[in-house]
Chain A
Amino acid sequence: MIAFVVRRLLQSIFVMLAVGFIAFSLFNYVGDPINNMVGQDTTLEQRQELRERLGLDDPFVVQYGRFLVKAVQGDFGISYRHRRPVSQLIAERMPATLELSLVAAFLALFIGVPMGVYTGLHRRGFLSQVFLTISLIGVSLPTFLIGILLILIFGVMSQDINSALGFSLLPQLPTFGRGEVTQVGWWSTGFLTQSGILALILPSITLALFQMTLIMRLVRSEMLEVLRTDYIKFARARGLTNRAVNFGHALKNTLVPVITITGLQLGSIIAFALITEQVFQWPGMGLLFIQAINEVDIPVMASYLMMIGFFFVVINLVVDLLYYVVDPRLRADRAVAAGHQ
């Protein structure tokens, strides 16, 4: 088991190295950072001097090597745009992204799974049709459009609608930023203030919608599959309550693929939160990365990409470990295998 974990962690190093290599080979094509770092009156010589100071004239392999040598010493360079250490910037932004991603993942899971179970059990129910229609919207509309629609409805139109109706139908919700945050050690949290929690609502729904519908559809199809199996029929024949059958036997057996997908999706929630972050001006790592692309801030881009590579590897590892917890067969196989040795 420990060997397995260590092996996977070692693999993650190779993944990160490969990501970094590809990233640096692409940086030649994202434009020239110098012009974003100086004013229009800066002379050609001064521009060239800055380019040399930053080593931008070197081949990308040399630049990559230099980055790696510093990175293993814990120095990820200085952001061209912010003029501060990248590690500091990422540490500052990480809480925002992680809080948003976790809330979104939580929403997706705790709304998506019950909706999936419900639509699986009541296939022809009216509510099921409604859920499925909503899920179609969630799957087909791009994230940024959902975000802008939510901003339009809950930020701009809600006032007019409420005043036209004469009562508060729609709440007026914050449309950008994180609200007031509280520092807990180095972690800045939005969970402790009212404005922080309100500010989380629209972005987390936007981010969760796609995952939620994905999970719902997955659970639904798995449920339909499992409900047809013999052991469910036996369970019913034994006179078990519907609850015990549906949740104790059926749902549990649908969970392995759900965990795989949810785990992988958590990685993509974190990685692709950047679209939601940009729409809502959410000050997380994704926004930092998008701005880094616009300004060709190479140290930030490189560090971010390698870190996301690391995240994906770790999440995959956690997912693999969770299989053992959920699926007794895997544990049994291992035990049997061990027994034969």
Chain B
Amino acid sequence: MKISIPKTLYEKIKARIEGTDFDSVSEYVTYVVREVLANLEEEKDITLTKEEEDKVKERLKALGYID
């Protein structure tokens, strides 16, 4: 799979990664895109119903974690 980027950007990245642990422009671009996407990801589906949350709180109280 290939993705195009402007040649000037390619050259800029190539210069940027000289002397770093990145072996190629592809590796650097992959790194940056992963970082950006991870920051954009949204949390899904961990909200508890009030009943479920109360049940968890009861256990935490019984175990002495909360007052």
A binds B: no
Which residues of A are at the interface with B, using a C-beta cutoff of 8 A? Answer: none
Q: Chain B residues in contact with chain A, CB under 8 A?
A: none
